[in-house]
Structure 1
Amino acid sequence: MIPTSRAWALRAGLRRTTPKPRCHTLDLSHEVRCGTTKTVKRWYASPKPVGQKAPESVTTIPGPNWLWLEPIYEPFRAYGRVQRRRPYMTQFISSLVIYLVGDFVAQSIGSPAPVENVEGEEEGERGWVQAWAEDRDWARTGRALLIGGAAAVPGYRWFLWLSNSFNYSSKTLSLATKVAVNQLTFTPLFNSYFFGMQSLLSGMTIPETIERIKNTVPVSWINSCKLWPAVTAFMFAFVPIEYRSIFGGVIAIGWQTYLSLLNQRAAAKAELEHTPEDTKTRAVRRCEEDGETVEEKCAA
């Protein structure tokens, strides 16, 4: 009997070897069994972890910064939010505050009206609040509030229209045109409105009001050319639209003070021109006793 191949191999001392399986590179399990695994770079692999940088406040000693300005910035941010939600009401209230402060400053700078003391009452007995309240011309303050409140929304609409107009390719030309248009149209019209309303609300007649406008508007317009062109140019160039009114309002406090003083000087001059000769002589004599000329205190 012929032995089989397996029996013959056992007798011959040979060991049958099992053939290795074919390795396919697409099957990772075969690569592991075959011992042919290689490290392959995968493009979708996550990057190596890196250490995060510590915050600057931890690595450095706190020093001077701009955090101390935060209480100043917050009211302006709140004003900008209110301005965007209710622009007309915000402008109306802002105008009232500006004219109120301007009138108070103008009355504080100008010579207060003399207050006659009651017999047996000394001036030192009044408190400072009572003295301040009694020395104010509240009718003049009311006129200022009425004039400012009526001009709030039209003034806002004017500057809003001006910011959306005359926008050329050249920023310098656009800015110069805006400043020129504002100075040549809005400033004389507003000054005429201010002095005319002051005169009418004071009880003056139409001819007297026209005379007041002729005596005050040219002087105020010339003086405005020294201030408002630069303010308007800076406002349109650097100030956002929601903050332009508050920026101009801060400058307008000083300007309204000047207009109020100019109006009072014109009123005093007109009153001196229409007083009888004997009263005028006493007023001149009183001014000379104070060491000042008529032009400095009475006529001015």
Structure 2
Amino acid sequence: MAWIEPLKEPFRAYGRMQHRSPYMTQLSTTLIIYFLGDLSAQKVASEEPYDPSRGLRALVIGGISSIPNYKWFMFLGNHFNYKSHAASIATKIVINQTFFTPCFNTYFFGMQSLLSGQSLEQTKQRVIDTVPVSWRNSWKLWPAVTAFSFTFVAPQYRSVFAGVIAIGWQTYLSWLNMKAQKEEDERAATSAATAPVTAPSTALPAA
């Protein structure tokens, strides 16, 4: 199995970086994930030209959330560890899906809306349009990822493992955000087109 040794070296290097500087490693990894996720969403899920401002928004959102997300998963890994491995995994999944996922998705879509210049009312509508469906769809992916990660992946490599999966997930979230924005623009255009027009008054002034 000597051929596999060169493949292990990048993971060992990442583990060393994680040990020396966990926060900078997490920040750097998160920025790469968000950049690739947004790039994929713009290139694959949209026919429009690449929008650098959208990519910048993704980096800001990812950068702000990187350390809190890392802290959360470290907390999750260090708690809810019972004698039964199955009970531990099930508890971590339920807590993550119940608390972290809806909070993070609200943050993600809310920040996307605010950073693009939308009002608070429009941001509220964006959250309503995107968070419930993204939360439901997260149950199709992240419980399995969480279970596999806490069962087979060493703690120092969990973030990079989840990061690879997260590239696809960020692509989906970015696509969902684009879809919601287009629907909001269409509703606004329809509302403007159907708004009643007040005719100017033709009454003569009183003598």
TM-score normalised to the size of structure 2?
Answer: 0.90
Distance in 2, matches of 1:242 and 1:252, equals: 17
Distance in 1, matches of 2:105 and 2:35, equals: 17
Of 104, 113, 128, 2:39 maps to: 104
Aligned position for 1:173: 87
Q: Give the paired residue count.
A: 194
* Identical residues among aligned pairs (%): 55
Distance in 1, matches of 2:192 and 2:70, equals: 49
Tell me, yes or no, if structure 1 residue 242 matches structure 2 residue 156.
yes
Distance in 2, matches of 1:262 and 1:91, equals: 25
Q: What are the ranges of 5 or more consecutive residues in structure 2 without an aligned counterpart?
A: 195-207
> 2:8 is matched by which residue type in structure 1?
Y
Deviations along 1:172-216, one digit per CA (max 9) or x if unpaired, are: 111110111001100000000000000000000111101110110
Relative contact order, higher structure (CA 8 A, sep 6+): 2
In structure 1, the residue corresponding to 2:140 is in which secondary structure? coil
> What are the within-5 Å matches in structure 2 for residues 42-191 of structure 1?
66-113=1-48, 135-191=49-105
> What are the within-5 Å matches in structure 2 for residues 137-286 of structure 1?
137-276=51-190
Distance in 1, matches of 2:124 and 2:190, equals: 23
Distance in 2, matches of 1:80 and 1:172, equals: 27
Structure (1 or 2) with the greater helix fraction: 2
Instruction: Give the alignment's Cα RMSD to 1 decimal.
Output: 1.4
Distance in 2, matches of 1:278 and 1:83, equals: 53
Distance in 2, matches of 1:276 and 1:81, equals: 56
> 2:18 is matched by which residue type in structure 1?
Q
In structure 1, the residue corresponding to 2:71 is in which secondary structure? helix
Distance in 2, matches of 1:232 and 1:279, equals: 48
Distance in 2, matches of 1:150 and 1:216, equals: 20
In structure 2, the residue corresponding to 1:204 is in which secondary structure? coil
